[in-house]
Structure 1
Amino acid sequence: MPRAAILQMTSGIDPDANAATIVAAVKAAREGGAAMLFTPEMSGLLDRDRARGRPKVMTETEDRVLAAVREAAAREGVWVHLGSLAIRPEAGAEDQRFANRAFVINAQGDVAARYDKMHMFDVELDTGETWRESGAYAPGERVTTVETPLGKLGLAICYDIRFPALFEALGRATCDVIAIPAAFTVPTGRAHWHLLQRARAVEASAFVLSAAQVGVHEDGRETYGHSLAIDPWGEVLLDMGGEVAGLGFVDLDPARLVDVRRQLPSLANRREVAR
C-alpha cells in the first residue's frame, strides 16, 4: 500500500529558509516510508509585498528552491509534488507575468510534470481582504496528469478547486489521486475548505491530497491550514489542523478506488450535457 507524506508549512519571505524546510521534509518522508511528498502552494516564497518579493522570483532554471528539492529527491529516492513556486518567465516571453507553477519531481530528481494554476484569485472579501492574483500571475491553460508511485496524479492549485470543469476533466482522465495544494484564507477556509475538498474527491472517484499553508506568515497574512487526505468516498483520512506546521502520513489503499468505483460508477455513467 503506497504511503504519501503531506507537509503543512508556514512559508515566509526567504526562499532559502523555505527550501531548507522542504529538504528536511523530503528526508523525513523517506524515513517515514513515504513514496511521495506533497507540499503547499507557494512553498518557496509567500510574500504579499510584490515590490519586496519580485527580486526573489527566478526563472525555472535559476530557482534555488526547485534545484534544492530536485537534489533532495534524488538523494533520498522520494518523489515530490512541489505544490507551487512563483516562476519568472524567460527573457523575451510575450507575457512577463509570473507563473504559479506546480512541479512533480521523480526519485531521480527529474521534473516529470509541470502545471500552471488556471484560475486566478481575484476577490474582495467582506473582511477587507483584497487579492488580485491576475495582476502578477498569468493563468495556465493545460490540464495535467502524470504517472507516479501513487498512481495517476492529477494537478490543481488552490482556487482551481472552485471550478468543476477542471475536475470533470481530471475525472475523465481517471486519476487515482488529485493534488490540490493551497494557501487558503481563513474566512474562505472556514466556510468552504472541507466541503469542496470532499466534493472533488467524490465526483472524481479519486483520493485528494491537499497540502496547505498554515498560521501567521512573515508578510502578515494568515492561512487556514487543515492539510487533508480524503478517500474516493469522501472520508477524511488525515486532517492536520489549523494551528501548526508539520509532516503527516497517509496510506492510500488502491482497493478502495476499485470498491468505490464499483459501487458508484459515476465515471462510467457520465454523459455529455447539451449546452
Structure 2
Amino acid sequence: MSAVKIALIQMRSGTDPECNLDDAEALVREAAANGAKFVATPETTNLVQKDRETLFSVLRPQDEDPAMVRFADLAATHRIDLLGGSFALLGPDGRAVNRSCLFGPQGELKASYDKIHMFDVEIGSGERWQESANYKPGDRAVIASAASTVVGLSVCYDLRFAYLYRLLAKAGARVLTVPSAFTRPTGKAHWEVLLRARAIETGSWVLAPAQGGRHEDGRKTWGHSMVIDPWGAVVAHLDHDEPGILYAEIDPAKADEARTRIPALHNDRPVTGPDPLA
C-alpha cells in the first residue's frame, strides 16, 4: 500500500438543498484539483433543517434526490472516491433516513449506510434533540473499498458506540469515516477525545469531516474537522468552524503496523455477567 491524499470538506449547510450542493461541489472540485483521491463531506451535506414540517417538504427519495446525481458526476469527472458524508433523504416508509453514500471513480454508488444510532439527548441549558422523531435508524454496519483500502462507514452520534467501530475494523476496515454535525457543547467536550479513542481502540485511521458554525435554522455546530492516525495522533485538523478543506496523506499500512504493536482486535475474550444486584 502507498499513501493516499485525502480531503475532508467542512461545511455550514443551510436550508436550501441546491445552495448546499453548490457549496459542496465547489469545495470537492477544489480538493480534486489539488490532488485528493478520496474526498469526504460532512453529515447532512444537502440539508440542515430542524423544523419537521419544512424538512419533509423538501426531502426527496434517494432515486429522485439531486445530491445523488451531482455526487456521482463529481466522482466520475474527477476520478475520485467521494463520500457524501450523509444526505437527508426520504425513506420508503415516509420517515427520513440519514444516509452516507460512497461513490467510486466511475460514478458508481459503491456503498450506502444509514446512521444506526439516533441522537436522542438532553444536553442541558434547554438544548434537546430527538432525531428518532423524524429519522428511521439503520440496522447494518457497512464497509467498502476506497482510498486503496477498506473503509468503514459511520455517522456522527455513532462515534459514541465503540462496538460499531470494532465490528468495522474486525471486518477489515483500516479507515473509519465519521462525518458529523456535532453540537457545540458536545463538540468542545468530546469530539477530539472520542475520535482519538476510536482510532486507538481499533488501530485505524479516522477521518472526520464536520459541519461548523451557526446554521440558517439556528443550529450551532462545532466544526474542527480532523484526521487521526492509527496510533491516535491528530495528523491534521481545522482549528475553527468555518467552511473549508482539510488535506492529509494517509498510509493504510500504518493500520497494520499499529495492530501488530497492540493486537487488541485479536485479544477479545468471551465474558459473562455481571449478575444484577439484588
Question: Could you state the TM-score of these two structures normalised by the residue count of structure 2?
Answer: 0.94
What SS is found at the alignment partner of 2:62? Answer: coil
Distance 1:106 1:221 in 2: 32
Distance in 2 of aligned mates of 1:187 and 1:60: 32
Counterparts of 1:182 and 1:149 in 2: how far apart (Å)? Answer: 20
TM-superposed deviation, 1:33 = 1.1
Q: Residue 191 in 1 paired to residue 197 in 2?
A: no
Tell me, in whole angstroms, the C-alpha distance in 2 between the residues paired with 1:68 and 1:208. Answer: 26
Aligned residue among 229, 236, 246 for 2:244: 246
Return the alpha-carbon distance in structure 2 between the equivalents of residues 190 and 268 of structure 1. Answer: 33
- Name the aligned partner's letter for residue 179 of structure 2: P
Q: Secondary structure at the match of 1:53?
A: helix
Q: Kindly state the Cα deviation for residue 127 of structure 1 after the two structures are TM-superposed.
A: 2.1
Post-superposition offset of 1:137: 0.4
Q: Which residue of 1 aligns with 2:8?
A: 6
CA distance in 1, matches of 2:241, 2:140: 34
Aligned equivalents of 1:245 and 1:189: distance in 2?
16
Q: Specify the alignment match of 1:236 in structure 2.
A: 234
Is residue 155 from structure 1 mapped to residue 158 from structure 2 by the alignment? no
Please give the secondary structure, in 2, of the residue aligned with 1:212. Answer: coil
Residues 236-245 or 96-105, more deviating:
236-245
Q: CA deviation at 1:75?
A: 1.1
Identify the range of structure 1 (183-192 vs 264-273) with the bigger mean alpha-carbon deviation. 264-273
Q: 1:88 corresponds to which residue?
A: 90
**Structure 1 position 132 matched with structure 2 position 158:** no
Shift of 1:122: 0.7
Q: 1:260 aligns with which of 251, 258, 261?
A: 258
* Pairwise CA distance, 1:172: 1.2
The CA deviation at 1:239 is 1.2
Work out whether residues 37 and 78 of structure 1, in 8 Å CA contact, stay in contact via their aligned partners in 2. Answer: yes
1:66 aligns with 2:60: no
- The residue number in structure 2 matching 1:99 is 97
How far off its partner does 1:125 sit? 1.6
The amino acid across from 1:25 in the alignment is: L
Assess if the C-alpha contact under 8 Å between 2:203 and 2:256 holds in 1. Answer: no
Q: For 2:12 and 2:168, how far apart are their aligned partners in 1?
A: 29
1:159 shift after superposition: 0.5
Q: CA deviation at 1:174?
A: 2.6
Distance 1:132 1:117 in 2: 14
- Could you say which residue in structure 1 is the equivalent of 2:24? 22
**1:182, 1:75 → 2: CA distance?**
26
Question: Residues of 1 paired with 2:150 and 2:45: CA distance?
Answer: 23
Q: Could you say what secondary structure the match of 1:125 adopts?
A: strand
Aligned residues: 271
> For residue 37 of structure 1, what is the aligned residue in structure 2?
39
Instruction: Report the secondary structure of 1:183's partner residue.
Output: coil
Paired amino acid for 2:109:
V
Give the whole-Å Cα distance in 2 for the aligned partners of 1:231 and 1:23.
Answer: 27
Which position in structure 1 is the counterpart of 2:56?
A: 54
Q: Secondary structure at the match of 1:187?
A: helix
Counterpart AA for 1:109: G
Work out whether residues 29 and 36 of structure 1, in 8 Å CA contact, stay in contact via their aligned partners in 2: no
**Alpha-carbon distance in 2 for matches of 1:228, 1:26:** 17
Aligned amino acid, residue 76 of structure 1? H
- For 2:143 and 2:272, how far apart are their aligned partners in 1? 27
- Once the two structures are TM-superposed, the CA of residue 8 in structure 1 deviates from its matched residue by 0.4
Cα drift, residue 253 of structure 1: 1.8
Match of 1:181 among 179, 182, 187: 179
The CA distance in 2 between the partners of 1:101 and 1:12, in whole Å, is 18
* C-alpha displacement of 1:175: 1.0
Cα pair 1:7 1:37 within 8 Å, conserved: yes
Q: Percent identity?
A: 40
Q: Mind listing any 5+ residue stretches in structure 2 that lack a counterpart?
A: 274-278
8 Å Cα contact 2:166/2:265 also seen in 1: no
Could you say what secondary structure the match of 2:168 adopts? helix
